[in-house]
Structure 1
């Protein structure tokens, strides 16, 4: 894992950020600010997110950020997973420095298993490692909302493509943190369109996620989002 460091740079961390041990996110933000100010990247429209807001969605419902505390007992239709996978593939086709894994539990016609999405070429590969709710709970640091039927999406950075796109590792990592949040928001909106509630966290246990998805060394999981029918 590559992290930004304040040492050896000319970035001055404000006292409040330093007091609360926020040096790392501050450095990320400043590096991104400098990167954008130098005009290194063209503006992108992020159609995979914009489409969710202009194609018949109820905006008031979409921004309600509906979360869940309990999970319905009935299975999820396969059509719901299909819609989420389409959303993911659309996003990954643009955010080529990211990757995604999907864990299914209680989806009609699908095994309870973990799947790795590749978009170049497009493929969905099943992992042969354990992927039950206990494993998912460990990935999200033991939080109880891993339990029950639902779909868990894990988003992360593919360093092989990220360095090619952004050159500097700190910039690549900081951009990935922003971009997985945007992709997660697109999934949240897609899920709400199908009646799903969601919860998400950047607090992931990377080693467990890597083992479950059989990830190579150049891939790191950064973000988890779980989508369910609320109970």
Structure 2
């Protein structure tokens, strides 16, 4: 693995309420820019929008009846110590307040935890996959499978830039309550980064991902309750 040292991370994942998308991106960018002044130096903020218009990926075919993916992502990551997490959570709550009724709060979710880079690298196009465990497993069992074993499989996929986001369940629930959200708790959140859409489609369609990784995931991920989507970066600090 490129690093087992984690970064503090928090995120807001949502779809827009109703059909009023006009001006939403500009509102998010304005709010994010304003938040930077109160965040520790080096904090990374990212706004992403879900991509569409391509042939469904194997994960998307498998998860066609799973909960609908979120349309927008706002994430903040920073220092590795626990104290760094609180400013990030404040930023997520502030973004939710700024957007107000533009957020569909019936389906929105938040994440608080630690981001671990299984392999190094970044990119403007990325997968967001909130994970929920197979019902027969405890969260500890899930982590043993996901981080203790499956991460090594992901590390071997050529060209992948793979991160695991390990959830702090108590802090996530606290942040959800602060914002006024109610959603099924996630057990973790996977992200992978790519140079562009074509790169993402090629890698995610390869046999070692489309068959090998999915078959292994079925041992611990409950796909009918999880989500999967590709996003493009709209703005980044």
TM-score exceeds 0.5: no
In terms of fraction of residues, the more strand-rich structure is 2
Larger relative helix fraction: 1
Q: Which has the larger radius of gyration?
A: 1
TM-score with structure 1 length normalisation? Answer: 0.35
Q: TM-score, normalised by structure 2?
A: 0.34
Q: Which structure carries more relative contact order (alpha carbon 8 Å, separation 6+)?
A: 2
